[in-house]
Amino acid sequence: MIREGDRVLLIDRRGKKYLVMVSEREFHTDLGILKLGELIGKDYGTSITSHKGEEFRVLKPDINDIIAKMRRGPQIVHPKDAGIIIAYAGISPGDTVIEAGVGSGALTIFLANIVGPSGRVISYEVREDHAEIARKNVELAGFSDRVTIKLKNIYDGIDEESADHIVLDLPQPENVLPHAVEVLRPGGYFVAYTPCMNQVHRFFQAFQEYREEFYKPKVVEVLVREHEVKKECMRPKTTMLAHTGYITFIRKL
C-alpha cells in the first residue's frame, strides 16, 4: 500500500518516468497536474489521472529507477558490470563488503541491495563532494542503515579487521593489495573495475608479489547487445555501449 512519504515511480503514456514523493501536493507535468495525495492508501499498480485526463501508471521504484534519477558526480558503474561483480564474487545477503571509491554511489547501492539489512557496505572515498553526493543517493535508495561512507584514502590502509569482499573502482587497485591480504577472509573476493587495459596490466605486475595468497585470477569485460523488438522486424539495435571497463577477480586463499 502507498503511504504518505513513499517514493513512487509514475510512467506516462509516452513511457516517460517520474520519481516523486507522495504527499498532499500537486505535481506538474506537461501532460497535466496530478494530485499526489490521491495515491495514499492505494496499491502499487494503480494509476492516477491528471487534470487533462492523462493516465499515469504507478509502480514501486526499484534500485535501477533510483540510480537512473539520482544526482551524478563521477561516472557510475553500469548495471551490466555491477551484475557480474555481484554474481562472480558470490556476494550474498549478510556479507560485509569494503568498497572504494564511492563516487556517485551507484555500485554502493547495488552492493547494499544484495547484502541486505543484515549486511554492511563500508565505502571509502577521498573527495568530500563525491562522498556527499553518494550519501544522499544511498539515502534516496533507503540503504543508509547498512552503508557507511568514510572520507579516507584507501591506499593508506583499511580500518576494518575483516571483510568478505573488497570491491574497487579507482585508478590504482594494486595499491590496495597489501591491505586486502590482511583483511579479506579466505574465499572472499578482491574485485577491481578499471576502464583501461594498461591499468589491468599494471595491476598484474604488482599482483606477482601476492599470487600465492590468491586463487588464479579472472579478467572479464561484459558486452550487452540490446535488440529492437518491432512487429515487422526483430534485430540488434544499431548502437550499443561498446566499452565500460575490465573487471578483475581474485579470490583469497
Binding span for ligand SAM by CB under 6 A among 14-22, 51-59, 90-98, 99-107:
99-107
Distances (CA, A) of 4 to 1, 41, 53, 138: 10, 9, 24, 20
| The one-letter amino acid at 132 | E
- State yes or no: residue 127 binds ligand SAM (CB under 6 A): yes
Burial class (CB in 10 A: 0-12, 13-18, 19+), 128: exposed
Residue 195 CB, nearest distance to ligand SAM (Å)? 8
Amino acid 184 reads: L
Q: Considering only residues 65-84, where is the footprint of ligand SAM by CB under 6 A?
A: 74-77
What cell does 71 get?
A: 544526482
Q: Report the residue from 19, 84, 126, 206 that binds ligand SAM according to the rule CB under 6 A.
A: 126
Query: What is the dihedral sign for C-alpha 83, 89, 91, 92?
Result: positive
CB 100 within 8 A of CB 170: yes
| Residue 133 touching ligand SAM (CB under 6 A) | no
**Dist CA 181 CA 59 (whole Å):** 44
- Binding mask of the shown chain, residues 19 to 38, with x at each position contacting ligand SAM by CB under 6 A: --------------------
Among positions 50, 63, 66, 101, the unique one binding ligand SAM when judged by CB under 6 A: 101
Return d(Cα 86, Cα 82) in angstroms, integer: 6
Q: By CB under 6 A, is residue 170 in contact with ligand SAM?
A: yes
Residue 164 marked ligand-binding: no
Is 107 a residue that touches ligand SAM (CB under 6 A)? Answer: yes
User: Rule CB under 6 A: which residues touch ligand SAM?
Assistant: 74-77, 100-101, 103-107, 124-127, 130, 153-155, 169-171
